[in-house]
Amino acid sequence: MKHSCVNLLSLSVFLSLLMAVNGCQQTEEQKSGEYAPERNNAELSATDLHFSNDLLDSIELTEIEAESAEIQNPDHIHVLVNDDHVLPDSYTPDDLTVPDVRFSFDEELDRRLMREEAAEALEQLFRAADAAEQELFAVSGYRSYERQEQLFTAAVNEHGEETARETSAAPGSSEHQTGLAMDVSSRSNDLLLNTDFADTDEGQWVEEHAHEHGFVIRYPEGEEDLTGITFEPWHLRYVGEDAAEELDNSGLTLEELIEKTREYQDGPG
Ligand SMILES: [Zn+2]
């Protein structure tokens, strides 16, 4: 969770409990499934992960500066952003625009913004939701490095560094800085960003249909070890329709797609 607009303390307590419970269940599921994700991506082998060669050919790998983990090509729509792949503090996408969708607030704030391609896809997603009588609200999109720094510092001051790192993204490691992410909610969830959204009609519709418009639920339940972020059913990340489709079908994460691409593009030797 990395949002100041929710009650971080109660949320983090709730999530800790949730993770304690789900952690055990997930281990059982992963043991019984044919695919068992490993925290160490180097251990993933080609046979564990299934993506089409067309997709793997189409991805431009996220390149990082080894010493700083700073991303060198942040404009690519498949860019991987996490604690090990950090956006430059100077990075601001140059095609930010306001999608024509329903927002949870009236003010003209930066958090309305998304990159052009993602904004168009979000408009499609919202139109499809409207047609299915699911009223979605956009809550939080683009967030600058400086804004993330303020939020993270506030979280550290309030809860200490350890808890802050679990519940809030450090500056540079938030996907919101890419302009490719949007948090969504519904009236049925009081427009809040919390895991209850997953149980609403709107949240279930999003889970089923987001990929049709190029979005994935970037931080799925039970994948905290891979993504570093607890379950966020409200956080939609634009990756384009092809990647979204295959991530949805496989149930794999962007971390795994990028790792697989690296193996594939590097070739067998
Ligand atoms: Zn988010």
Ligand 1: distance of its center to the CA of 50 in Å? Answer: 27
State the Cα–Cα distance between residues 195 and 11, nearest whole angstrom: 9
Give the end-to-end CA distance of the chain in Å, rounded to a whole number: 40
What is the spatial distance between Cα 86 and Cα 69, in angstroms, rounded to a whole number? 6
Q: What is the per-residue pLDDT for 136?
A: 98
Give the per-residue pLDDT at 35: 37
Distance (Å) from CA 147 to ligand 1 centroid: 13
Count the neighbouring beta carbons within 10 Å of the beta carbon of residue 255.
Answer: 22
Q: What is the Å distance from ligand 1's center to 169 Cα?
A: 10
Residue type, 202: E
CATH number of 8-266: 3.30.1380.10
Residue ranges in the chain whose pLDDT is less than 70: 1-49, 268-269
Rounded to the nearest whole angstrom, what is the distance from the C-alpha of residue 237 to the centroid of ligand 1? 8
Angle, vertex CA 234, rays to CA 125 and CA 214, nearest 5: 35
At residue 163, the pLDDT reads 82
How far does the centroid of ligand 1 lie from the alpha carbon of residue 233, in Å? 9
Q: Which residues pair with 185 in a beta bridge?
A: 137
Distance CA 142, CA 34 (A): 37
Burial of residue 72 (number of CB atoms within 10 Å: 0-12, 13-18, 19+): exposed
Domain segments of the chain as ranges: 8-266
Q: What is the pLDDT of residue 162?
A: 85
CA of 54 to the centre of ligand 1 (A): 29
Burial of 181 (0-12, 13-18, 19+ CB in 10 A): buried
Which residues, other chains included, contact 92 with Cβ-Cβ below 8 Å and sequence gap of 6+? Answer: 144
d(CA 251, CA 226): 12
